[in-house]
Structure 1
Amino acid sequence: EGFRLSYWAVFGWFNVLASPWVYRFFDLVVLLGVVGLPLALIRATKKPETVSFSSLALMLIWIAVVGLGYVRYNQLIEAATGRLVFPAIACSSILLSWGLNQLPPQRWAGAFVALLGVTMFVIAMIIPFWYIAPAYATPLPLAPHELESIPNQLDARFGDEIKLLGYEVEGDVFRPSELVYVTLYWQGLTAMERDYSVSLIVLTPGGDLIGQEDSYPGLGSSPTSGWTPGDVFADRSWVRVRRRADTPTIGWLGVSVYHLPTMERLAPWRKGQPVDQVFLEPLEIVSWEPEDHEVSHPTAVNFGNEIDLIGYDIDEARARPGDTVDVTLYWRAREEMGQDYTVFTHLIDDGGEIWAQSDDQPVRGDYPTSFWDPGQVVRDQYELILPSDIPPGEYQLELGLYLAPTAERLPVLDDAGHMLDNRVLVGPID
């Protein structure tokens, strides 16, 4: 998607886009050109004197070389941008034009191509004024009556210079490589000589950085040295979720302010207390396609009419002292949950003694149950390290869920809704 957009019309630091119809127009142009190429080749074989096949082969070889270079580059560096194939743009444009020229009747071919060229010229003339200039226009201060309508108001301050009055995130669920647009409502508290930068990050509960974008306010159009103390303005920024982010997960959207030449951060405060980072809200990040789970041990266990355990995998059914037993659980949400449950996985002997355990929220704590959608299947992995003194014998896994603040377990229910237990046993493990 990023390649497609940036090949035709992406500006700034991959943050200024044209309207969707612009990209659909170019999609149509490419589609028609590709459809017309077989016709062009057929006609060329009938009249070989009209085509230089050596030139055609050279263009195709060059497009292939550039394409392979693009693929290899993206294996090393995440950069799905169309500009990387611009060295072959002349060849690809000639071939597309050749294909387009085959579609209309020959007496209209010249007029068709000319009309297409004029249309593209008009689009190119409109874009700087319709899309680029407004994106870099200096934001105007909010009027006094607009201050009360600032969404998600908060009390966050950066040093004694800047205050963050509120924010608004566009969207609820995001996917790797997608942009998260957020509008920040800034207020200058004092006149500033420095031009500060704003850093937006996306951080998982486990501490993995899966997104970061740094820029000046207003994408450079509103330097802090020009702020009038007391004025409030809305700054629409964005951060891209990294393409290789593990999903599903929760990513906390964080904001910080710093001076780029010295990398000195303005001390963040929240509700009058110093904090390490000002976090706004958690973002739900899921994969592009539904995952196809192959479960080796299907089950049907109902936990409190909220979550089903639909299966599990155990990598080490036979293990030795000191080994790690990898356990994968497959959960399915029955309904939306307003609470975050903790999963317990205990390796127990016949007497119920626990020899290894792992208690954590699902997906290493990165995807709490309160974010699950009804019907969603979540793959959840745990590692159990066997102690060196564990005696030989047959063991079982004790599984379940509980609320950490109260230690109250979700009951296991039968089809009639009657409680059977507050755990389920699976195995054995020898």
Structure 2
Amino acid sequence: MARIAYQRRKAKSETSEHTPPFTFDVWRLLFGAVLIASLFIVSLFISKPGPPATQHPLNLDFGGELTLVGYDQSKIRNQKSEINLVWQAQHPLGVPYGMNIRLVDDLGLIWSDTNIERPRDWRFFPGTHVWMPDQFIYDSYVLKPLPGAPPGAYHLEAIVYRGDTLQALSVQRIGEYVIERPTNLPPAEPLANLNGLALIGLQADREAAAPGEPYRLTLRWQAASASLTDQGFKLELIDSTGAVVHAIAEPVAPKYPPSKWVAGDVLDQPVVFRLPARLNSGGYTWQLNGNIKLPVALQVNAPDRVFTPPALSSQLNVELGDSISLLGYNLTTSGSEIKVELVWQARTEMAESYRVFLHLLDANGNLVGQSDGEPANWTRPTPGWLAGEVVADSRTLTAPGPGEFRLRVGLVDEAGNRLAAAGWPEGAIELGTIILAP
């Protein structure tokens, strides 16, 4: 009997050596459970077969890749609101896209936290690389206006970008968002007091800039008491000798004036302008209302100015608009590369920023290359030009191959309208024909 029992145990042991361990079945079961759970979770926020109803139907195209079907918005509580977007892929994407939302004012300034916050009941959704056109994806956010955002109407924008490169695909305005009340905070140590109105913060968007460049100085105001009166302020830019070289006068928060504030209310007020063309290089400071020194400095780096034109292979002397002339250009080619040096001259000083377009057309008039932007690779904005100043603007184009090509050039204003040019009423000046050999 003992021998039989031993043989049975031995047989059992030998059999067990060839039986897959129990852990193998566990892993298969776990994998299956995870897969089923994932499919279940995905089904919770993917709607089929038709588009869901939304408070704000849109059907907006984002770069030929995604459609924003619409969005829902919850009531604003504690300065926050839930925004629920509904997306649909226009075709199988295979690309990881990311999305976000933001608040923007009429100047293009962002007034919401760009860090993504999800609602508490938010559930993970799959990446866009696996989206199919028959699916509708729910994408939820908690929208948080920045502290100090002034009450009023803002543009609600949706952004789509490549998740792997962060390159923007499309940015579109999708609706309006209204902030009804300002942020209210405990009293802060003031930098200055103006009749019950405390200046508690000051921030510049940069430490150094060039003449003609945009500059933003943001003042943070707080109501130190109730029953304030509406008032204004004056900012002055001071050079190293103590002289005032630029002054700006504005009312305090004109869209939500101090007479509407209660004690503790905090509002940010951006002051946006372009630095005057005549500023010299050096250090500058700011003062408020003529005698209050402010703790912010600015380094101005003025360009080397030229008032004599260089030698030109082609002279034009074409006037564009009221302020600028195109004196001529120099052109060289190397293979398919075309280098053009445009030479501009300011007839007067100007407040508006104009941009250059240089287009390359083939023999059939098709656009095959272009170089657009502010002069001199964005370093010489036109509001920084002095009367009579000459600005060289070098640009490079690449032709698609050998053949006959034409060049045309002009200026556009900030609204995208071309400046009329003498002899060229449509604002596109022909620079001639180029033949590139094989």
TM-score interval (norm. to shorter): 0.3 to 0.5
TM-score (norm 2): 0.35
Q: Specify the structure having the higher radius of gyration (Cα).
A: 2
TM-score (norm 1): 0.36
Q: Which has the higher strand share?
A: 2
